[in-house]
A = this chain, B = another copy of it.
Amino acid sequence: MAPLKGLWEPSLAADDRGLAYGDGCFETLRLSPAGAPLWPWHRRRLLAGAAALAIPLTEDTLDEALRQALTCCEGAAVLKLILTRGSGGRGYAAPEPCEPRLLASLHPLPARPAAHYRDGLATGLCQLRLAQQPALAGLKHLNRLEQVLARREVQQAGWDEGLLLDSAGAPVEFTSMNLFARFGDTLWTPPLTQCGVAGVARALILEQLAAGAGLATTVQMRSLSQLEAADEVFACNSVAGILPVRTLADWQWPVGRATLALQSGWAQIFQ
């Protein structure tokens, strides 16, 4: 990989395979005055995505991109990184060797209503179902038309977020957030081995924050009807953090102790 040539360029070659086929991965990560506290997780996921797609990428390349981002940014912001296989011929076969591109851009941290964090999101059930593709599940790759179509449903319905089921009808995630629910003292989230994006906030909760809040975790398929019986439900992503889910269509949940404890753990990371 060329040493980050064009990293901050506002344009890219029209023959890039990221455009042609979505042949690449991306990350959006939250920068704070403290730096990029979740960087190890974002870096790990982007390296895993690159490996799954056989796009060469090194840890050093990513660290240098982050260093440059932190140099030009003060305070809260969102860094978006896009990795593509680079320019390629007209055809699905990837050039060998390829010359990957890494693109970076900085964006303001989106403002969310305080009520979303305090009272929760009003959500609905998307009609679009996520297709099951184990070869791509979990990756934050550039093939995101399902999310674009689902987000359109959310906008048209006026929901705060939309829950996505897989083609078998099991809940997977929201359009841009992962799904968690508490049953007693156990946090549950769906496995993402067939579809869905394995979020960094989800990983942080499973690997670190849940234990700090005294909660066990379980990752397994559960039916939509089981979700109704949850003691509380929340959504998360690494930019927005942790948001209670107040309603899903007619179902309602309280803002619960797990959500509050995890929000507190989250705040300590980004303080």
Report A's interface with B, CB cutoff 8 A: 9-23, 26, 28, 53-54, 78, 80, 82, 84, 90-94, 103, 105, 107, 110, 128-129, 131-133, 135-136, 141-152, 154-155, 167, 175-176, 195
Contact = CB atoms under 8 A, between A and B. Distances in A.
Contact of A90 (B21, B107, B135, B142): B107
Contacts of A90: 28, 78, 80, 105, 107, 110
B152 A23 contact: no
B19 A152 contact: no
Contact of A22 (B9, B143, B154, B195): B143
Given A21-B22, A90-B28, A145-B23, A12 B10 contact: no
Given A19-B82, A22-B143, A91-B151, 5 more contacts: A20-B144, A23-B144, A80-B90, A94-B148, A143-B144
- Greatest chain B CB density within 10 A among A9, A135, A195 is at A135
Given A22-B142, A107-B90, A148-B94, A12 B12 contact: yes
A82 B14 CA distance: 9
A26 B14 CA distance: 13
A215 B131 CA distance: 35
Contacts of A94: 148, 151-152
A133 B165 CA distance: 12
A103 B20 CA distance: 11
Given A20-B142, A145-B23, A132 B167 contact: yes
B144 A14 contact: no
Contacts of A110: 90-91
Contacts of A148: 17, 21, 23, 53, 92, 94
16 contacts: A11-B12, A12-B19, A14-B82, A20-B26, A21-B143, A22-B144, A23-B144, A23-B145, A28-B90, A78-B90, A91-B110, A91-B151, A91-B176, A92-B150, A94-B152, A143-B144
